[in-house]
Amino acid sequence: MKDLETLRKEIDTIDAQLIALYEQRMDAVMGVAEFKSKHSIPILNDSREAEVIKKNLKLLQNMEYVKPTEELLKSIMTISRNFQSKKIFSNTEDDSVTSCDKFQYTTKDDEATGNYTIGFQGVPGSFSEEALISYFGETVQSKNFNEFEDVFEALKNEEIHYGVLPVENSSTGGINEVYDLLRKYGLYIVGETCIKVSHNLLGVSGTKIDDIKEVYSHPQAFEQSSTFFKEHPNLKLIPYYNTAISAKLVSEKNIRTISAVASEKAAKLYNLEIIAKDINYNTHNYTRFIIVSKNLEINKQCDKISVVITVPHKTGSLYNILSNFAENNLNMMKIESRPIEGKPWEYFFYIDFEGNIANTKIQSALSLIDGNSSYFKLLGNYKCTTL
């Protein structure tokens, strides 16, 4: 048996050979980066990486080393991708945007709402309208729509300039339909605002809770008031477009057997009485609304970035991406997953983090995330709201 010192010298000799070969490999990787940059080829190539691993594992003589060799190859390729991302990013001529034209943007002027028309889902008296007023003010022109997707269609067809849509509630979490539509239509988040949400059980004049058989409201309102309805199991809950539309329906039908869950403002607007006040179980119940535009708009005050990605369906893929946040000292504020239709157990990941894409550190981090993702889209860079 060889002594320890002899074995260490052998390892040192092999390491020196490895370093020389690694340097040659990285020189080749630099050439790959230049070629991909010139021909606009994505950095990540799943099939190529799988082929490299499979081919090199066949060269092993000792099968005990299969697993660690596979991990070594994966690590080398991750390093190579990150190096390619940094190389391509460093060659970008325009310092105001990240690599590739996908990050080009117009400068946002928060004061220039002028004669813009703002769309929202619901009717007057809805929380969406309240969010619209909170962000744009009382005097802006507005247009209401029945469905969330109607707002996206109106933006796509340039019927409106901006849309206001709920995306997250502090009690019940993300509003999945809006996340899916945001990706489907390829629109951008340019702002956000938070509204405190207090739900009330509303009915026509003289209605008592024992009179009510059916309650209309948005499913989120029912979920946020679930404790109240567990205490009144005889009430039939009927999902409807929106809290304010539900209040309007009850007012129009003018019968005591139906009621709505909606805001105090909706009660006043549609001449309804509050039968039970503040029925939501969380007294600190807030909904975050996003301001959506057809164009990516950014200014120096923007400090929150949203992206959506998918990752290769293999071990460590998500970790490789999330590690970029720690390595670049970036504060990740939220991550939300949504299943990919037709691909069981694969997901879109929606990520929010602090930063402004005019910052070179942020540009570099975005480039690395892009390079390690199967799919990447910048959803927006906007001013973070505070409660």
Q: Identify the three-state secondary structure at position 314.
A: coil
289 catalytic per annotation: yes
Catalytic residue among 289, 325, 348, 349: 289
- Annotated active-site residue in 98, 172, 287, 310: 287
Please report the beta strands in 108-149, taking only residues with DSSP state E, as ranges in sequence order. Answer: 117-121, 141-145
Give the angle subtended at the CA of 314 by the CAs of 309 and 320, to the nearest 5°.
Answer: 55
Helix (H, G, I), strand (E, B) or coil at 373: coil
Helix, strand, coil shares of the chain, percent, nearest 5, are: 40, 25, 35
Tell me the C-alpha distance between 58 and 51, whole Å: 11
What is the token pair recorded at 144? 């209401």
CB 281 within 8 A of CB 197: no
Residue 113 identity: T
CA 121, 122, 127, 130: dihedral to nearest 10 degrees? 80
Given the structure tokens 């892009």, which residue do they identify?
Answer: 370
Outline where DSSP puts E strands in the chain. 106-107, 117-121, 141-145, 162-169, 173-174, 188-196, 200-203, 214-217, 236-239, 258-262, 273-276, 286-293, 297-298, 304-310, 332-339, 347-354, 375-382
Among 216, 176, 177, 224, smallest CA distance to 196 is for 224
> Contact 270/125 with Cβ under 8 angstroms?
yes
**CA 70 distance to own-chain centroid:** 32
Contact between residue 204 and residue 251 where contact means Cβ atoms under 8 Å apart: yes
- Report how far residue 250's alpha carbon sits from residue 204's, in angstroms, rounded to the nearest whole number: 7
Contact 145, 117 (CB under 8 A): no
Catalytic-residue membership of 145: no
Read off the tokens for 145.
């729509």
Neighbour-count burial of 198, counting CB atoms closer than 10 A to its CB (0-12 exposed, 13-18 middle, 19+ buried)? middle
- 308 contacts 183 by C-beta, under 8 angstroms: yes
Q: Which residues participate in catalysis according to the annotation?
A: 287, 289
